[in-house]
Amino acid sequence: MNAKKISKINNSCCPKCRAEEFITEPNQYDVLVFSAGQFDIRCSESLDCFKIFCRECASEVNDDSSSQAKRVVLK
């Protein structure tokens, strides 16, 4: 296997279980109102505590650290 390819995969997957998919907090949602014939987003609940979790092992991801490090960083 190509070493470069391996490191690229590691940067974008969960460092704990290598899963490549992540989910947001289940109770996070947008509040919509139907007005003038279309849905408008009134507000997003729990926007202040935006959380990302690994889909496989449910480890919480540190969003800020991941952006700075250019790789997935767990809390």
Give the binding site for Zn ion (CB under 5 A): 14, 16-17, 19, 54, 56-57, 59
Q: How far apart are CA 10 and CA 29, in angstroms?
A: 30
**If you count them, how many residues does the chain have?**
75
Q: How far is the CB of 32 from Zn ion (least distance, A)?
A: 31
Pick between residue 31 and residue 58 the one whose CB is nearest to Zn ion.
58
Pick between residue 25 and residue 56 the one whose CB is nearest to Zn ion.
56
For residues 18-31, b (16+ Cβ closer than 10 Å) or e, as one string? eeeebeeeeeeeee
Q: How far is the CB of 15 from Zn ion (least distance, A)?
A: 8
